[in-house]
């Protein structure tokens, strides 16, 4: 079986994985990490729960550690696009966890909160920026962010992104990115419109896919019971 040590990941990344208690790579990680570490573009079909965040975060941290380039002012080296603020937060936390022994900064930006704090965080430049598309465009229009220095783009949950109506924002964002970049594309499903996007944005991508994770344990009996908030504790105890 593949081990994390087989990939040749930077030592600080391996240390963080060890501390997180990860023993061996999940199937999507085993397939995605080696080509992503080489700088290849990637088209991955994987759902949440498969370990897909580490499948892109680990090779990205490794690649950042290969050069001593600095993030440009009001810019970033890695841009991760996420459809929702919840996912964006989780991704940023994962980068913080896996990168805890590396000097890279990460920031997360999404709508529905004041923009000025995000503008201040971006001013000196950040290595990894995790963003929802709408707020990202707001920041660019306010000249608080430029995408000129992006070396790696990640599009996470691409199908959700389209379902939420982010297609135009996405297209605008991709037009602003440098042509020479690595692109990593993840989606739980690959309907025609997503495959079309992948074809347009990726160069000679490696295709990786894993079967969906089982969401429930088959041998555990499950029931749904509707209860008022006040009754939940007692019902749970019962």
Question: Which residues in this chain contact ligand AMP in the complex, by CB under 6 A?
Answer: 22, 25-26, 29, 48-54
| Of 71 and 131, CB closest to ligand AMP | 131
Q: 12 vs 22, which CB is nearer to ligand AMP?
A: 22
In 3D space, the residue among 18, 22, 9 whose CA is nearest the CA of residue 60 turns out to be 9
User: Could you tell me the smallest distance in angstroms from the CB atom of residue 40 to ligand AMP?
Assistant: 20
Residue 71 gets which letter from DSSP? P
List Cβ neighbours of 226 (8 Å cut-off, separation of 6 or more): none
Closest by CA to 100, choosing from 12, 8, 10, 9, is 12
Under 8 Å between Cβ of 86 and 1: no
* Smallest distance, ligand AMP to C-beta of residue 205, A: 20
Nearest distance from C-beta of residue 193 to ligand AMP, angstroms: 23
CB of 54 to ligand AMP, least distance (A): 4
Judged by CB, which is closer to ligand AMP: 21, or 230?
A: 21
| Residue number with CB closer to ligand AMP (50 or 82) | 50
CB of 50 to ligand AMP, least distance (A): 5
| Least distance in angstroms from the C-beta of 49 to ligand AMP | 5
The pairing of strands 126-131 and 152-155 is unpaired
Angle, CA 48 vertex, CA 137 and CA 97 arms, to 5°: 75
Q: List all residues 6 or more positions away from 14 whose beta carbon is below 8 Å from its beta carbon.
A: 4, 5
Shorter beta-carbon distance to ligand AMP: residue 48 or 84: 48
Instruction: Give CA–CA dist 56/10, Å, rounded.
Output: 14
Cβ nearer to ligand AMP, comparing 49 with 124: 49
Instruction: From residue 24, give the alpha-carbon distance in Å to each of 4, 14, 30.
Output: 6, 11, 9
């Amino acid at each position: 079986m593949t081990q994390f040590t087989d990939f040749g990941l930077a030592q600080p990344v391996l240390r963080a994985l060890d501390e997180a208690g990860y023993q061996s790579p999940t199937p999507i990680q085993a397939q995605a990490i080696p080509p992503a570490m080489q700088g290849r573009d990637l088209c991955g079909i994987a759902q949440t729960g498969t370990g897909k965040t580490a499948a892109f975060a680990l090779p990205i941290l490794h690649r950042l550690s290969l050069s001593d380039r600095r993030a440009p002012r009001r810019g970033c080296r890695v841009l991760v696009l996420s459809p929702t603020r919840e996912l964006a937060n989780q991704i940023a936390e994962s980068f913080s966890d896996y990168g805890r022994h590396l000097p890279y900064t990460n920031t997360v930006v999404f709508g529905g909160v004041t923009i000025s704090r995000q503008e201040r965080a971006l001013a000196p430049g950040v290595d990894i920026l995790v963003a929802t598309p709408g707020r990202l465009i707001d920041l660019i229009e306010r000249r608080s962010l430029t995408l000129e220095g992006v070396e790696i783009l990640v599009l996470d949950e691409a199908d959700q992104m389209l379902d939420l109506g982010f297609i135009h924002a996405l297209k605008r964002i991709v037009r602003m990115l440098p042509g020479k970049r690595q692109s990593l594309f993840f989606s739980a499903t690959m309907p025609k419109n997503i495959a079309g996007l992948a074809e347009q944005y990726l160069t000679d991508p490696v295709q990786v896919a894993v079967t969906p994770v089982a969401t429930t344990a088959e041998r555990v009996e499950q029931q749904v019971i509707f209860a008022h908030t006040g009754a939940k504790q007692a019902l749970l105890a019962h």
